[in-house]
Chains A and B, each alone.
Chain A
C-alpha cells in the first residue's frame, strides 16, 4: 500500500495557527488550505506555493515570487474595480532563510468564498435532469433550462467585468467559478439545486493583465471547450453566456469576433512551441 499522502510542512507563520489550516486541494503549483483571517471568527483561504526542489534555488525563488505577485496584483486590481473575486488579505513572496538554503516558497491569504463551485452545481443539475427530464412537462423543462440560461448569462457578465478591468484569467473552467451563497439559500426548483448567488471567479494562478482581444477570446474559448467536455447537457446554453458577455463592456463585440478565429484554429496562435 502506498504511504498516506502528507502535504509539505506549513511555512511560518502558519505553524502557529490554531486550529491548524486544513488542506482542501492540491495542484502542481500550489496547495490550498482553509484557515482563519486575522479575525479568528472569519474564515480565509490560504494558497501556498511550495518551493520546487528540482529547480535551481535562485531560479525557483524568482519564478515562485513572480507568479504569486502576479496573482495577487490581478486580484487586488479586480477588487478595486469591483469584479467579484476573493480579496487579498496578506501576502508573502520572500520565502524564509537564506537565498540558497532557506524555504523558497510563497503564500497568499485570501478572502473565503462560501458557496458551491459552478462545476458541482452543473454536474448535479445534469445528473438530476438525466434521471428526471423525461417526467417533466414542457413548462417545467422550460423553467429548468431557463435557470441554466440565467446562470450562463451571469457568468458572461462576470467574465465581461473581468476583461473590462484589463485582466485575463488564463484558466477559465467551471471549477474556477463559484456561486457566493446568498444568506437565504432555499430554492423552489424541484431539483433542490440552487443557482442563485453572485458568480465569483477564483484561482488567478495563470492570470495576467492584458487588454488584447486575442487573450480575451482565448479565455472564452477555453471556457467553451471546458463546458463542452464536462457539462454536455449545459453546452447548448453557452450561447447565453456570450450574450451576457456582449452586454457587459464596450470592447466585447471585437473579442467575440476574435473568438470565431480562435475556434477555427484552437488556443495556440502559432504552431511553434
Chain B
C-alpha cells in the first residue's frame, strides 16, 4: 500500500525548511515508537501526535508553524523542534503534560507524524523510506475529511477549555440538514484553538 507522505512548504517559513506530514490509522507498533522517543533514538526523531487530538489541518499547521518559528529564533522550550511541535499543540506551558496529552501513547491507533527538514539530508524520500519501514499502520490522506473521522471533539474541547462552545455535530446529524450551523461551530472552535496556540506563554 502506498504511503501518503505530504511535503508542505508552509507559507512564511523558508523554502529550506519543508515539513513532511503523514497520517496513519490503525497503528500497531505505537509502544515501540514511543519507546524510541523515550530512548532518544535520533533515527526516530519525529513529532508523533495522537491524531484524535487534532481537529483539522489548520490546527496541526498552526502548531507546526509556532514550533518552527520558535526554532528559527532559537527559543525552543523543549529538546528539539519535533518535541516542540507536540508542545505547541498544548494551550498551557507544561511540557510533560503536553507529551502526555498530545503525544503518542502505547495505545495510540491514529497517529500524525511530522518531520521538519532541519538538515538538507532530510528529504521527502528519506523520510518516506524510513516511515515505510518503521510504522505499522494504514497511511491515509492528511486532510480535514479524514481528520474529522478521527478527532475526539469532546476531549479536544476539554483540553483547550472550550467546553462552552457549540459542538460541531457529527457529519450525518439529521437535525442539521444544511450543515451551515455545523460548519460555523467547527470554524469557531478551530479559530479559538488557533488563538490559544498563538497565545501560549504570553
Name A's B-contacting residues (CB within 8 A): 12-14, 16-17, 35-40, 69, 72-73, 75-76, 79-80, 82, 87-94, 96, 111
Contacts and interface: CB of A to CB of B under 8 A. Distances in A.
Given A40-B11, A79-B192, A96-B73, A91 B198 contact: yes
B3 interface: no
Most buried by A among B15, B66, B75, B195: B195
Contact of A69 (B57, B73, B165, B202): B202
Given A38-B61, A87-B195, A88-B199, A80 B13 contact: no
B188 interface: yes
13 contacts: A13-B12, A36-B11, A38-B62, A39-B11, A39-B58, A69-B199, A69-B202, A72-B195, A88-B199, A90-B65, A91-B202, A92-B69, A93-B202
A12 B73 contact: yes
B177 interface: no
Contacts of B14: 13, 16
A69 B198 CA distance: 10
Interface residues of B, number: 27
Contacts of A36: 11
Interface of B: 10-15, 57-58, 61-62, 65-66, 69, 72-73, 75, 162, 165, 188, 191-192, 194-196, 198-199, 202
A260 B22 CA distance: 61
Mostly helix, strand, loop or mixed at chain A's interface?
mixed
B202 A17 contact: no
Contact of B194 (A12, A35, A87): A87
Contacts of A88: 194-195, 198-199
Contacts of A16: 12-15
A75 B195 contact: yes
Contact of B202 (A12, A72, A90): A72
Contacts of B194: 87-90
Most buried by A among B10, B65, B69, B191: B191
Contacts of B66: 90
A72 B73 contact: no
B198 A72 contact: yes
Contacts of A72: 195, 198-199, 202
B202 A87 contact: no
Given A17-B11, A38-B65, A40-B11, A80 B195 contact: yes
Given A39-B61, A82-B188, A14 B199 contact: no
Nearest to B162: A80
Contact of A13 (B13, B61, B62, B75): B13
A8 to B, nearest CB: 18
A72 B61 CA distance: 19
A91 B191 contact: no
Contact of B192 (A37, A69, A80): A80
Contacts of A79: 188, 191-192, 195
A72 B195 CA distance: 8
A16 B18 CA distance: 12
A38 B15 contact: no
B191 A38 contact: no
A76 B196 contact: yes
A38 B165 contact: no
A89 B62 contact: yes
Contact of A80 (B11, B165, B202): B165
B191 to A, nearest CB: 4
Given A38-B62, A38-B65, A89-B62, A76 B72 contact: no
A37 B191 contact: no
B73 to A, nearest CB: 6
A94 B73 contact: yes
Nearest to A97: B73
B77 to A, nearest CB: 12
